[in-house]
Amino acid sequence: MPELRKDPITGRWVIISSDRARRPSDFAREKAEAHPGGGFCAFCPGNESKTPPEILAYRSNGSGPNTPGWSVRVVPNKYPALGIEGDLNRQGEGLFDKMNGIGAHEVIIETPDHSKTLAMLPEKGIEDVLWAFRDRMLDLKKDRRFRYVLVFKNHGLAAGASLEHTHSQLIALPIVPKEIREQVNGAKHHFDYKERCIYCDIIRQELEAGTRVVAENDDFVTLSPYAPRFPFETWIVPKQHESRFEDSPTHAFENLARALKLLLAKTDSVLENPAYNLVLQSAPLQEPSNAYYHWHIEYMPRLTKVAGFEWGSGFYINPTPPEEAARFLREAEIEVAVPA
Amino acid sequence: MPELRKDPITGRWVIISSDRARRPSDFAREKAEAHPGGGFCAFCPGNESKTPPEILAYRSNGSGPNTPGWSVRVVPNKYPALGIEGDLNRQGEGLFDKMNGIGAHEVIIETPDHSKTLAMLPEKGIEDVLWAFRDRMLDLKKDRRFRYVLVFKNHGLAAGASLEHTHSQLIALPIVPKEIREQVNGAKHHFDYKERCIYCDIIRQELEAGTRVVAENDDFVTLSPYAPRFPFETWIVPKQHESRFEDSPTHAFENLARALKLLLAKTDSVLENPAYNLVLQSAPLQEPSNAYYHWHIEYMPRLTKVAGFEWGSGFYINPTPPEEAARFLREAEIEVAVPA
């Protein structure tokens, strides 16, 4: 059983994932093998039995569970960071605090086509992936042990992807993670003083200034944040205030798919198909919807190495001003025709 | 002039380093070139004129500044993340906050010998590097604009080192960085309740349990922290309470060099010469020495990739329990004879 442990100084939690335990020699071997597994892919149609049984699949042809015919398929991670069964069993260990590593770790296989990236899927295909995120969040929310679901995507080796077949992941956690708690607290602080959502304020200011705006459609603004940690870090923010992704109106999914496809096409063009991470930032699952936090997607291409300065300070050095990044992306001519 | 910008939601500062500004094509080119610069090394003796003029050098043979004959040499970074001249000029930009990117960015060249790593230096050589850290911190502290000096080391490409010749760096900042502020606040919180330093408490508990102790000498304990972010993350902590590294007694430098050399020899042996980051964590420069914070060194080998989950949550998945990491390091037989 994995363990959740808390650093007693900073309050930061970590998952000590003993089921995936790795010895020194494993790290050296991994360095040598780029994509372990060779030619076989457990995410390809026909290999459904090589993954744990599916939790969700979108099928249009009436095919049965765990058989080909799906367009999006969600399965438990075969090597989960957290275990789904059991109680938290919070306890102390002298000075320290720990609990059982209870949670869910799922893989969203975004397409049956091994040769496609998320950016290459049609808008409808991307929209289906977004619906799968929502469906899983709504289902996991019913389990009151889970306080947060983080949906994320690692694309490319440098971004931590260990399998090539395009997929996203989600991890349901028994605690609200530090980064989210800080964002929610920061947004609440602004709201307490101004009675306005800080993200709504940012959208207004950015649309007026225009210098950091990459693109916009009826429901979403794509922008370079004012203080990005990474070069070409880009956020997709809904224009309409909503604290939780899973509460978004139906029409938002279509426009989010459009905004995401456009951003990925632009970054693939400008940055030559970079490795990247995508994270969905949404309000905690079990807390009521609120007027101060505003869900959004953060896109972070892996262009620079995070090094000693960043680890030691929590401070980031970004060599590309967001105004320049936004201009490059705004002006990028992309090959795929995207409806306005 | 670089800019310091604050994320209005989380309060996280970033350095937008326009002088090092990079266009999309730069990132692609860097990916291709491992160590740019080819065979020439500006840190080697004889090439002193290829770095900015030295700030400090230890010389035993009476040689003049910026000539060969040094054992440790400190120079300004040729491509500094921050600029040394000017005022902070704090100002708003609508919702946002910024100031001029004022600070110091220096390189500590640890040895004239291009073929050596820090681990390969004799204990006295490592001790001299530590003295150079202290001398620079004491000097930079006189500049009241600087609230923090972060000393760090990137070893190996995967850890962000762009030059091969072994060196450390320091960045003096006009604000106390988030990670330090969190550690100091967390330690103060413990002290306010218990009237004890939390690090002193940890040392006592760890020495008693023994399971996470890697090594120990008269002045230092080397241990795997209870909730490490990374596999084989290891801390070197002084046994005697001291909030600031630069206030350490003379005998501590010799024993710190010994502890550091032993740790690097053990990790080089167990992990096959990994890339790593070292960071020195010490109390803020301009604040009085205190009874609750406790300076220490954090060693983080770069064995795993930080990916979407970590960026989106501030939560870390560590596949190696610290008890196992400590056991591997404790039991490692190293080639270099280290006096007890």
Distance (Å, whole) CA A323 – CA A329: 10
d(CA A62, CA B258): 68
Q: Compute φ and ψ for B276, nearest 5 degrees.
A: -155, 160
Res A39: pLDDT = 82
Tell me the two tokens of residue A259: 């905004």
CB contact under 8 A, A15 and B316: yes
Work out how many CB contacts closer than 8 A connect A with B. Answer: 291
Residue ranges, chain B, pLDDT below 70: 19-21, 28-38, 335-340
8 A C-beta contact, residue B176 and residue B148: yes
Residue B156 lies in a domain: no
Shared domain check, B253 and B209: yes
**Chain B interface disruption, residue of A1, A5, A12, A14, most B CBs within 10 A:** A14
**Half-sphere exposure of residue A294: CA atoms within 13 angstroms, side-chain side:** 23
Tell which of A176, A207, A242 closes a domain. A176
DSSP 8-state class, residue B55: S
Question: pLDDT class for A340, splitting at 50, 70, 90?
Answer: very low
Q: Does A33 touch chain B (CB under 8 A)?
A: no
Q: Please tell me the predicted confidence (pLDDT) of residue B145.
A: 93
Residues A162 and A261 in one domain: no
Q: Are A214 and A329 in contact (CB under 8 A)?
A: yes
- How far is A193 from chain B, CA to nearest CA, in Å? 13
Nearest-5° angle of CA B277, CA B278, CA B281?
135
- The nearest alpha carbon in chain B to A23 belongs to B320
Least confident of A23-37, A250-264, B35-49: A23-37
Residue B160 domain-assigned (yes or no): no
**CA dist B318 → A84, A267, A275, B306 (Å):** 18, 31, 22, 10
B189 is catalytic: no
Contact A227 B6 (CB under 8 A): yes
Which residues in chain A are contacts of B7 at CB distance < 8 A?
A: 225-227
Q: What percent of chain B has pLDDT over 70?
A: 94
Q: What is the C-alpha to C-alpha distance for residues A303 and A158, in angstroms, rounded to an integer?
A: 9
Q: Given pLDDT bands bounded at 50, 70 and 90, which one contains residue A37? A: low
Same domain, A196 and A309: yes
Contact flag A318-B14 (C-beta cutoff 8 Å):
yes
Q: Report yes or no: B186 at the A interface, CB cutoff 8 Å.
A: yes
Structure token pair of residue A60: 């249009």
Asked whether residue A164 falls in the same domain as residue A193, the answer is no
pLDDT at B340: 46
A322 vs B16: CB contact, 8 Å cut-off?
yes
Within 10 angstroms of residue B191's Cβ, the number of other Cβ atoms is 18
> Is the same domain home to B204 and B120?
no
Both tokens of B289, joined, read 């020495």
List all residues 6 or more positions away from B136 whose beta carbon is below 8 Å from its beta carbon: B55, B56, B74, B106, B108, B149, B170
Chain B interface includes A192 (CB < 8 A): no
Q: Clarify whether residues B127 and B194 are in a common domain.
A: no
Question: Is some CB atom of chain A closer than 8 A to the CB atom of B92?
Answer: no
Q: For chain B, how many structural domains are there in total?
A: 2
Q: How far apart are CA B300 and CA B231, in angstroms?
A: 8
Residue A39 forms part of a structural domain: yes
Q: What is the C-alpha to C-alpha distance for residues B329 and B40, in angstroms, rounded to an integer?
A: 36
pLDDT at B20: 62
Whether A336 maps to a domain, the answer reads no
Angle at which helix B322-331 crosses helix B250-270, to 10 degrees, equals: 100
- What CATH number has the domain bearing residue A8? 3.30.428.10
Instruction: Specify the pTM.
Output: 0.94
Q: Which residues of A touch B285 (CB under 8 A)?
A: none
**CA proximity to B82, closest of B146, B179, B153, B171:** B171
Residue of B nearest to A169 (CA): B309
Mean pLDDT value across chain A: 93
Answer whether residue A124 is part of any domain. yes
A223 touches chain B (CB under 8 A): no
B339, part of any domain? no
Q: Are residues A73 and A218 in the same domain?
A: no
Calpha distance A294→A297 (Å, rounded)? 10
- Residues A146, A45 share a domain: yes
Residues A164 and A187 in one domain: no
Spell out the residues 6+ positions from residue A174 whose beta carbon is closer than 8 angstroms to its own.
A4, A88, A99, A102, A103, A145, A146, A147
Helix (H) / strand (E) containing B69: none
pLDDT tens digit sequence for B72-108: 999 999 989 999 888 999 999 999 999 999 999 999 9
Of A199, A278, A311, which is closest to B300 when you measure between CB atoms? A311
Chain A residue numbers with beta carbons less than 8 Å from the beta carbon of B146 are none
- Chain A: residue whose CA lies nearest to B203: A95
Q: Are residues B53 and B123 in the same domain?
A: yes
Final residue before a domain boundary, out of B141, B172, B203: B172
- Residues 6+ away with beta carbon under 8 Å from A90: A97, A98, A99
The answer to whether residue A278 neighbours chain B at the CB level (below 8 Å) is yes
User: Does residue A306 fall inside a structural domain?
Assistant: yes
A191 and A140: one domain? no
- CB proximity B81 to A under 8 Å: yes
**B64 min Cα distance to partner chain A (Å):** 32
Provide the residue range defining the domain that includes B224. Answer: 179-331
Q: Check CB contact under 8 Å for A159 and B307.
A: yes
Q: What share of chain A has pLDDT > 70, as a percent? A: 94
**A156 touches B at CB < 8 Å:** no
**Is residue A337 assigned to a domain?**
no
Cα separation of B18 and A317, whole Å? 10
In terms of CA atoms, which chain A residue is nearest residue B224?
A: A7
Closest CB from A27, A309, A320 relative to B21: A320
Residue B204 main-chain phi, psi, to 5 deg: -60, -50
3-state class percentages of chain B: helix first, strand second, coil last, to nearest 5: 30, 25, 45
Do A193 and A308 sit in the same domain of this protein? yes
CB contact under 8 A, A22 and B312: no
> Domain ends where: B172, B203, B228?
B172
Q: Give the minimum alpha-carbon distance from B199 to chain A in angstroms, rounded to a whole number.
A: 8
Burial class (CB in 10 A: 0-12, 13-18, 19+), A339: exposed
Q: What per-residue string of b and e applies to B159-189 under the rule 16 or more CB within 10 Å gives b?
A: bbbeebbbbbbbbbbbbbbbbbbbbbebbee
- Interface probe for B, chosen from A273, A318, A330 (most Cβ of B below 10 Å), is A318
Radius of gyration of chain B (CA): 20
Asked if B274's CB is within 8 angstroms of A305's CB, the reply is no
Q: Look at B279 and A96 and tell me if their CB atoms are within 8 Å.
A: no
Q: Which residue in A21, A173, A303 is closest to B27 by CB distance?
A: A303
Catalytic position from the list B105, B155, B167, B296: B167
Q: Which DSSP helix (H) or strand (E) runs through B32?
A: helix B24-32
Asked if the C-beta of B101 comes within 8 angstroms of chain A's C-beta atoms, the answer is: no
